[in-house]
Amino acid sequence: MTDAPRETSVDTIQRELTAFARRARAAAARLHPELPLVSYTLLAHIVDQQGCRATDLAAHYLLDKSTVSRQVGGLEKLGLVERRPDPEDHRVQVLHPTEAGTRILASTQASRRAAYQERLKDWSAEDLARFAAYLLRYNAAGPVALPDGSPADPTTTSP
């Protein structure tokens, strides 16, 4: 026996998260056509961490190493990141943002923040705090696995 209201809520959450992810990808493309959402996310992580290895990005975002390699290659080609030897182990390459990467990220983040401020302008402080807490709780639950055990991002599935 299933709990129909719970199932309906889960279906609504899945559908709305999918719509959210699609809007986020479209917005990222409008903000910087050469910087897809995945690349933007990786660049933001590199800036936040003040440098990291590509393997760290793959592990953090549950991405295949080849996907990270392609995205990082694109960021390098755009002049937004550069590789430097790790001072503790010169065999390891650490990704660092360039000045241009830091500048574009700051500009893009300001535009994204303004868009969120506009979209949420009619929400009360209490609603915003509750929504933020729910998102933190949801993301803290960890990755979702498909029946075969492989990781899955539920926001990329079709409704």
Higher pLDDT, 114 or 155: 114
pLDDT digits (tens, 9 = 90+) for 33-86: 777 888 889 999 999 999 999 999 999 989 999 999 999 999 999 999 999 998
Residue 153: the pLDDT is 53
pLDDT digits (tens, 9 = 90+) for 19-36: 988 888 887 777 777 778
Torsional sign, CA 62, 68, 72, 75: negative
- Report the chain's C-alpha Rg in angstroms: 18
Whole-structure pTM value? 0.73
Give the rounded percent of residues in the chain with a pLDDT score beyond 90: 57
* 93-107 exposure pattern, b = at least 16 Cβ within 10 A, e = fewer: bbbbbeeebbebbee
Q: Please list the helix, strand and coil fractions of the chain in percent, rounded to the nearest 5, in that order.
A: 65, 15, 25
Residue 132: the pLDDT is 95
Locus of tokens 């903000």: 31
Residue 148: the pLDDT is 57
